[in-house]
Amino acid sequence: MQTIAFMGQKGGTGKTTLAVHAAVAASQDGYRVVLIDTDPQQSATFWANNREAETPVVATAVASQLAEVLEAARSEGMTLAIVDSAPHSSPNASEVARLADFVVIPTRASAFDLAAAESTVGIVKAAGKPFGFVLNAIDQKVAESMEALEFLEATYAGKVAPYKVGNRIAFARSIASGKGATEFDISEGKARGEIKLLWKWIKDQL
């Protein structure tokens, strides 16, 4: 079983949203997925409670229980674990990074978000784990989004998803209905396409 952690030391980056959509996309790709919600806000758990489909499985746990939950998921035949971590600095962040095979760091294009993302990199590097950035909730027409992408690529060469995820209403609507964007946006719309590309990039990193 492989483990992906979505991490960030600042709220509002859309970390949980991407974790949920990626978990659904991975399930559609044939993985047996458990989405582990270690965020005290339990947004992923709320999403699961509104969901009719039985997959992906969603487990709620505190970060200190993560090793135990991962072992239980492995014993139950899960092939992929996606961990939604707390959206703030936490003493358990290093433990989440240690247990992950790959860490996804979502960030918006603002200077504050980019600065906060650097602190997450420090935690992940200390754990010795590979990581990658995803620019999220981006207005594709705004120059700052391209500048942010260029900054990340210059600073963290080879560690940035080439696909920016837009700020799209389909993401919020699918979450509210207990679905993922790849289920909700069935007309091959932009939200569906961006999540499929994001999942492909994540899978290529494993």
Give the chain's domain count.
Answer: 1
Tens digits of per-residue pLDDT, 2-40? 999 999 877 788 899 999 999 999 999 999 999 999 988
CA–CA gap between residue 100 and residue 33 (Å, rounded): 15
Q: What is the 3-state secondary structure (H, E, C) of 136-159?
A: CCECCCCHHHHHHHHHHHHHCCCC
- pTM recorded for the entire structure: 0.93
pLDDT in tens, 168-202: 888 889 999 899 999 986 666 889 999 999 999 99
Range of the domain at 38: 2-205
What mean pLDDT is predicted for residues 78-88?
A: 90
Across residues 156-171, what is the average pLDDT? 88
User: What percent of the chain clears pLDDT 70, i.e. is strictly above it?
Assistant: 94
What are the two backbone dihedrals, phi and then psi, of residue 160, each rounded to the nearest 5 degrees?
Answer: -125, 130
Model pLDDT for residues 85-95, shown as the tens digit of each residue: 987 656 688 89
Find the CATH number of the domain harbouring 107: 3.40.50.300
